[in-house]
């Protein structure tokens, strides 16, 4: 028997998979122990459809996380194509804050999935680092942030977003924090006029 070639999913199958992932992100962020049957029901799919797409809880959790990392990291290049590097960086920082909030909710489910499957403890981390490097390099080239800012500097500066309580006014608090960081990145930028000059 010839090996079966990969057949693209039908559009309804793609929609079902997308709905499962969207519901799973919300539900797993609330509780790592949410029954998979609850996710399937809220996504409007039967158990068979659910398990064809995700044969285990771990497969679902890792795919939810992979999808969120992909959305975040692909967004960096899109934002750079659409506008000025410093505006792209600041908008991407907002997206990173949303990602951090979702990841905080998924943290326990992700820990369980990586332990059970032997996946890396920080899946997707290198892609996020690559996106940050892309944004910083574009800003250095344009002279829109201070010289010498490294990926490590940036990660240390934004680490506070992981400390924001997602049940409070996280959006307002994150926006203020990221504005402060962006203001700091712009000070001393060679392409910017300094006050009074």
State pLDDT tens for residues 50-90: 999 999 988 998 899 899 899 999 999 999 999 999 999 99
What local confidence, expressed as pLDDT, does residue 108 receive? 73
Whether the pLDDT of residue 152 is over 90: the answer is yes
Which positions ≥6 away from 190 have C-beta within 8 Å? 143, 147
Helices (H) then strands (E): counts for the chain: 8, 0
Residue 1, pLDDT > 80, answer: no
> How many residues in total does the chain contain?
197
Residue whose C-alpha is closest to residue 17's, from 49, 48, 65: 49
The pTM for the full model equals 0.78
CA distances from 52 to 17, 59, 64, 109, 116 (A): 10, 11, 16, 20, 20
């Amino acid at each position: 028997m010839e090996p079966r070639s990969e057949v693209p999913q039908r559009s309804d199958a793609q929609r079902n998979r997308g709905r499962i992932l969207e519901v799973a992100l919300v539900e797993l962020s609330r509780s790592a122990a949410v029954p998979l049957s609850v996710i399937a029901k809220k996504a409007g799919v039967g158990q068979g459809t659910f398990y064809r797409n995700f044969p285990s809880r771990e497969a679902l959790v890792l795919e939810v996380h992979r999808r969120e990392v992909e959305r975040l990291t692909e967004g960096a290049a899109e934002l750079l194509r659409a506008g000025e590097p410093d505006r792209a960086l600041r908008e991407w920082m907002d997206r990173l804050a949303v990602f951090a909030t979702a990841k905080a909710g998924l943290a326990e489910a992700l820990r369980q999935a990586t332990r059970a499957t032997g996946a890396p403890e920080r899946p997707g981390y290198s892609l996020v680092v690559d996106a940050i490097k892309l944004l910083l390099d574009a800003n250095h080239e344009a002279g829109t942030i201070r010289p010498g800012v490294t990926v490590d500097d940036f990660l240390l500066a934004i680490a506070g977003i992981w400390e924001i309580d997602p049940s409070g006014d996280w959006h307002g608090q994150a926006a203020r924090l990221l504005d402060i960081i962006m203001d700091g990145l712009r000070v001393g930028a060679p392409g910017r006029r300094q006050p009074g000059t």
